Amino acid sequence: MAHIHNIDNQLLGAHMEALVAELGESFIFLDNHYNFLYLNPAAENLLRKAGEDLIGKNIWEVIQLEDNPDLFKILMRSIEGEKHIKANFFSTSHQKWLYIEIFKSLSGISVEILDVRRDRFAFEYLKQLPLETVIDNIPQIAFAASIIGTNIYFNKRWVEYTGQEWEGEISKVWKNVIHPDDYQRVVDLWYEHSAKAEPYEAEYRIKKYNGEYRWHLGRSTPIKGSDNIVDFWIGTVTDIHELKEIQEKLKASEHFSQSLIDNSPDIIVIRNYIDNKITYSNKVISRILGYDEKELQQQTSGYLEKYFHPEDLPMIYQFKESIQANKLDDPSENLIIRVKDIQGRWRWLKTKAMIFSRTNSGLVKDILYYFTDITSLKEVELKLKGSIHFTDKVAEASPDLITTLDYPTLRFTYVNRAPIESVFTVNELMGSSINILEGIVEPSDWPRFLDYFNNFQNLSDEDILHLDYRMINAQKDWRWARSRGKVFERDESGKPTKIIIITQDITSSKEIEEAARQNLLMQKLLEKKDEFMSVASHELKTPITTLKASIQILQRLIDTQAEQKVLKLFIVKAHEQINRLISLINDLLDNARIQADKLNLTITQFYINEVLEESIMHSPSSHTITVKNIVHDLVEGDKTRIGQVLTNFITNAIKYSPKSNEIVIDTQKEGDYLKVYVTDFGIGIPKEKIERVFDRFFRVEDTSSEFSGLGLGLYISAEIIKRHHGEVGVMSEEGKGSTFWFKIPMKFNEP
Ligand code: ADP
């Protein structure tokens, strides 16, 4: 590899030029004021400019500093007098890592740039680069350390990520960045493994520059010399936050569904249809039938005859046949069957079955069964069928509240025990109508509760009506109740005359459900806030960084007595960044004003033409703005605020049309309204996103990384127009362009 600086002070001879032109890498030669003297074809390619256009120009005019902050810093080091610089930088415009070597001599400045990723060079290059350079090339946080904890070198990703320079006392830097709850664990692990010279891994949270903690996986490996003594350690730190979050969520949801299943009043069983084994059953089975669920899982054949009532077997066989013929509805009709419990008593179970999974060839593999214990209901029903007087024994033993009501008067005719932890006694309820429960049932559930009873009119004998609602108990706590009701007596014409309702307390499962829902909602809100905070801090930080660098450079340039035009370039750049900051801060302030309802208007009369001229004058000159028609009538409104809306529409039109340079503005009278349109021919907005563009913080995600912004401009504009009693809107087609419009009444109406 030819190193041009090896010939040091010699001027660039003709033979040298030919040699350099052949080089695969880019080579640039500058005079001591950083004006281009020479560049080879590879450099022309890299800068995407012809050499003849560049010779004589100053490097600052050519390189877009905002797009290349890394390169900017490297050139700064050169201006500050560093003679020989070797560094890597990420070129945003090329989206790749480049290696740069700058050598300053009396005759001028030579700059070599090459693509470190190019196969041809990469390996040879990496081998000869210092360890630091290699580490800097790794696109994630990586480090090298002599003995763990001392003399550590972290790459640039670290600084970008944490905002912390790796300076001062090492343990302090660590302590600042690792989550306090993780710190001691990581340090202990570290010492343990470094003492044994073994690779290690640890998961811990690291604080990002914006204060957010994220989970990382830290890995470290000792590099041993030939004497088997550790020379140094290298390590990487990988962001595993999303992975961790998914793991946590999974854990939470597993736990959640498990407790739901175990708290369910129903028996849930999954049976493998191929080997006839129970693959899963919840704990309810042992509560209701007394069998150990583990033992049941061992059973394969003969279980039907062993547990099910002989009279029900034909129905069950038929049911199995329908599964075999693949004719099972999804889910099946209810089957009511009798199952023997551990003490040999028959329990009535209502059964629903669903195909849970199929084999690859589509055959039924697992069936999911729900068994609802309706024994008490069934027994009451049976007794009722036998005689009008039924013995209360069964019902009294039931933990559930069993009531019968006359229909349609809805008066209690039977209550098995004091309900809902004795708000009322049995005697108070007997003979009363259900209206006595008003005030006991949560008011917002009350209409549903009343409505529930209407539905018995058309209920068939087999059907059971369900209702979940809240009731207050004697301790004034809200409890969730689940009622199941059935018709059990009818007159000659078939109209129900008596209904039976069984009510269970299902608070525990409802509470779990509700907590999970609230949790999710809260999490969503926090995520939205975090997202905005990180967008806003990034947006504010970018201009400040550029501003700071421009000012530093100005200082240097003044010291080296640079030319006026170069100085001016940096002053203009600084100015642009200040304006960008002011506009961001104004948007944030306006947003705060809107939230506090303090966005006040100062109403005057003006011509829309004046506002238009002002807005156009202050917009970037990159686009041609054509005004089609002007309304010459006086308008009433807040002139500055209307100007702000227009400027926002125009700025967006320019920002979101990088490939076209035309903007069209039109103004029209529409009845008593003035309507203003701003049309661009840019990227447009996807159909499904259009209605959300005026929402606070909304940005079209697909493009949000490409264009900077807070997602506040249109929201503020819409609020301003709303306060003028006007309207905003947009017509847009993705890839073709957008027309944003607003209309306000010509005469301002006080609210
Ligand atoms: P931002 O600061 O993100 O530009 P705005 O509230 O002004 O915020 O706009 C919200 C979003 O609407 C933008 O992020 C962009 O996705 C979309 N948008 C606004 N104007 C245009 C336009 N003229 N063309 C295409 N998309 C637009």
DSSP per-residue codes, 165-186: -S-S-HHHHHHHHB-HHHHHHH
What pLDDT score does 690 carry? Answer: 94
How far is 751 from 743, CA to CA, in rounded Å?
Answer: 17
Q: With 70 as the cut, is the pLDDT of residue 337 above it?
A: yes
DSSP string, 84-101: EEEEEEEETTTTEEEEEE
Q: Mean pLDDT over all residues of the chain?
A: 79
193-209 pLDDT, tens per residue?
Answer: 877 877 777 889 999 88
- CA 683–ligand 1 middle distance (angstroms): 10
| Residues 470 and 442 sit within 8 Å (Cβ to Cβ) | yes
DSSP string, 68-84: -HHHHHHHHHHHTT-SE
472-483 pLDDT, tens per residue?
Answer: 877 778 888 888
Residue 122, phi-psi category: left (phi > 0), alpha (psi -120 to 50), beta (remainder): alpha
Measured in degrees and rounded to the nearest 5, phi and psi for residue 492 equal: -60, -35
* Interacting residues of 454 by C-beta distance below 8 A, sequence separation 6+: none
Tell which one of 693, 710, 733 to mutate to probe ligand 1, the residue whose CB is within 8 A of the most ligand atoms.
693
What pLDDT score does 473 carry? Answer: 78
**Pairing relation of β-strands 496-505 and 465-472?**
unpaired
464 pLDDT band, cuts 50/70/90, is: confident
State mean pLDDT over 382-389: 49
State mean pLDDT over 22-34: 73
- CA 589–ligand 1 middle distance (angstroms): 19
In what side-by-side order are the strands of the sheet with 401-406? 412-415, 401-406, 496-505, 478-490, 465-472
Measured in degrees and rounded to the nearest 5, phi and psi for residue 487 equal: -85, 135
- CA 546–ligand 1 middle distance (angstroms): 24
134 pLDDT band, cuts 50/70/90, is: low
**Ligand 1, atom 13, residue with closest C-alpha:** 699
In 3D space, the residue among 608, 610, 604, 730 whose CA is nearest the CA of residue 674 turns out to be 608
604-657 pLDDT, tens per residue?
Answer: 999 999 999 999 998 888 899 999 999 999 999 999 999 999 999 999 999 999
271 pLDDT band, cuts 50/70/90, is: confident
* Per-residue burial over 195-232, b = 16 or more CB atoms within 10 Å of its CB, e = otherwise: eeeeebebebbbbbeeeebbbbebebebeeeeeeebeb
What pLDDT score does 123 carry? Answer: 36
Question: Which tokens hold the place of 299?
Answer: 């059973």
- CA 595–ligand 1 middle distance (angstroms): 21
How far from chain centre, in Å, is Cα 197? 40
Hey, is 716 helix, strand or coil?
A: helix
398 pLDDT band, cuts 50/70/90, is: low
